[in-house]
Chains A and B, each alone.
Chain A
Amino acid sequence: SAVISQKPSRDICQRGTSLTIQCQVDSQVTMMFWYRQQPGQSLTLIATANQGSEATYESGFVIDKFPISRPNLTFSTLTVSNMSPEDSSIYLCSVENTDTQYFGPGTRLTVL
């Protein structure tokens, strides 16, 4: 398995601002992912965070809105830019270890 931590665990932000979420895993992993879970909904993949290259975004998500960094094999950040109330969600980091995906505790974001 993998132990994943995220910072912050929750935040309340004003519209128009940006928030950077950090994800740290306790071992080196090849694959890291970012998901969004809107209130009462399922999980939707935002992007794959690639180490040493640009992230791969899913349809409906763009780099200008959700820039991602992956400086090494244990760390990644997701920024939610120019936030609006529609961005209020849980943002989850996930890693793949031995062909299995594990999730962090999530960051609960509320945009006013």
Chain B
Amino acid sequence: GENVEQHPSTLSVQEGDSAVIKCTYSDSASNYFPWYKQELGKGPQLIIDIRSNVGEKKDQRIAVTLNKTAKHFSLHITETQPEDSAVYFCAAPPSGGGADGLTFGKGTHLIIQP
């Protein structure tokens, strides 16, 4: 099955700086890579995803990059704001497409220091 590793487990950055979270996966057939943000007491919220036919995707201050050769993908948040403080999870499908449940990384607790 798929194995997803996520680093770091905790990341503290100054407000306005950038944050980068990295994940690696094991199944070379995986082709869908979502990122979720989970705030305290809430369910995970999809913030961005990328499919294997592109190397980068941006949505305002958030971007995701994918390196299929190295089997890793990263979340980039620029101009961080206090509301970005949360736990972020990367995920990948167990094999092939997105019709199966996801395998999640262990999560990154992002702390934005004012």
User: A and B from one assembly?
Assistant: yes
Summed over the interface, the residue pairs from A and B with CB atoms below 8 Å come to a total of: 51
In the complex, the answer to whether B99 meets A96 with C-beta atoms within 8 Å is yes
Q: Which residue of A lies closest to B103 (CB)?
A: A45
In whole angstroms, how far apart are the Cα atoms of A31 and B104 in the complex?
18
A35 contacts the other chain (CB 8 A)? yes
For chain A residues 74-112, which have a beta carbon within 8 Å of chain B?
92, 94, 96, 99-106
User: What's the Cα separation between A106 and B43 when bound, in Å?
Assistant: 6
Is A11's CB within 8 Å of the partner chain B?
no
Inter-chain contact A42/B46, CB cutoff 8 Å: no
Shortest 4 CB-CB contacts between residues of A and residues of B: A45-B101, A103-B43, A105-B43, A99-B98
**A residues less than 8 Å from B103 (CB atoms):** 45
- Evaluate contact between B89 and A42: CB separation under 8 angstroms: yes
Chain B's interface size range is 20 to 34
Q: Is A54 an interface residue (CB 8 A)?
A: no
Instruction: Chain B residues near A26: list those with CB within 8 A.
Output: none
Is B44 an interface residue when CB atoms closer than 8 A count as contact? yes
Given the contacts A103-B43, A103-B45, A104-B43, A96 and B98 also touching, CB distance less than 8 Å: yes
B106 at the A interface (CB under 8 A) = yes
Given A58-B101, A99-B99, A100-B49, 17 more A-B residue pairs with CB atoms under 8 Å apart are A4-B43, A31-B99, A33-B101, A42-B89, A42-B104, A45-B101, A48-B101, A92-B43, A96-B98, A96-B99, A100-B98, A102-B46, A103-B43, A103-B44, A103-B46, A104-B43, A105-B42
In the complex with contacts A35-B101, A96-B98, A103-B107 CB distance below 8 A: no
**Interface-central residue, A31, A43, A44, A94, by most chain B CB under 10 Å:** A43
Which of B32, B49, B106 meets A42, CB within 8 Å? B106
